[in-house]
Structure 1
Amino acid sequence: MDYQILERAIEECGEDLDSAIRSLNQLRLESTNQNPEEAKVEGSEKEQVLNLDGTEWVELFVREMMSASDMNDAKDRASRALQALDKSIKARAGADAAMQSSLQQENSMLKQQLEATVQENSLLKRAVVTQQKRQRETEDESQELQGLRRMVSQYQEQLRTLEVNNYALTLHLKQALQNNSSIPGRFHPDVF
Structure 2
Amino acid sequence: MSSTSAATATTEPSEGEKGEPAAPAKPHVIEIELDEQLYPKDVIYGAAYVFIDRCYVHLDRVGDGRVKVSLRAKRGGPALSEALAGELQNELLGQAWRQEIAAQNRKLIESVTARALGGAAGPPGLDELLAMDISDDTAFDDPLGIAMSWEDKYGKKKNKSSEGQAADGGTADGNASSGVADGTAVDRETP
TM-score bracket for this pair, using the shorter chain length: under 0.3
Structure (1/2) with the larger strand percentage: 2
Query: What TM-score does the superposition give when structure 1 sets the normalisation length?
Result: 0.22
- Which one has a bigger Cα radius of gyration? 1
Q: Which has the higher contact order (CA 8 A, sep 6+)?
A: 1
Structure (1/2) with the larger helix percentage: 1
